[in-house]
Amino acid sequence: MSRESLARATNSKNLEMESGVTHDVDRLAAAASGHTLGGLLLRLREGGQDRWLRRIVLILTNRVRDKHKLTRSIAERCAIAALEEFISPHCRVCNGARVMMIEKVKIVCDGCGGTGLQRFSNASRRESIGTYGSRIESAMSDCHGHMSAALSAYTSHADERLE
């Protein structure tokens, strides 16, 4: 997290929370956090603190390996693929711009349908993991679910922790 964003967040009175958007309260909570999955994910995404990558992958790997009866290697590849999607959710065509202006013509991005977010297909996920099957798809879904739940729980209690 940059010093500027931390300073702005420290002086902010905005405790607004919105899904998919990081606000000042989220930045402060990430800076003040322990080593929970939600805090680590925010530190990684907002602060660019790559040193937490290995720990996040380990947490996700352990959570999906036994539940889906996967080898450690495949569970780890599922966790890495889910984490890559989390880190870089923006459309690769428009880079998250949603709409492109060419001269005076407004063009909605075909790659994302104007959402600004990358659409990840099961085929592309299988390719990045190197294998396929319903267990892999379920493991990927669980990885995303764990990250989403961790972030949601973390940010919903951020204002309480900061008081």
Q: Which helix (H) or strand (E) holds 99?
A: strand 99-102
> What is the pTM for the complete model shown?
0.66
Q: pLDDT tens, 54-99?
A: 999 999 999 999 899 999 999 999 999 999 888 877 887 788 788 8
- Can you tell me the distance from the alpha carbon of 94 to that of 96, in angstroms, rounded to the nearest whole number? 5
R_g (Cα) of the chain, nearest Å: 18
The whole-number pLDDT of residue 136 equals: 84
CA atoms within 13 A on the CB side of 71: 5
- Can you tell me the distance from the alpha carbon of 36 to that of 157, in angstroms, rounded to the nearest whole number? 13
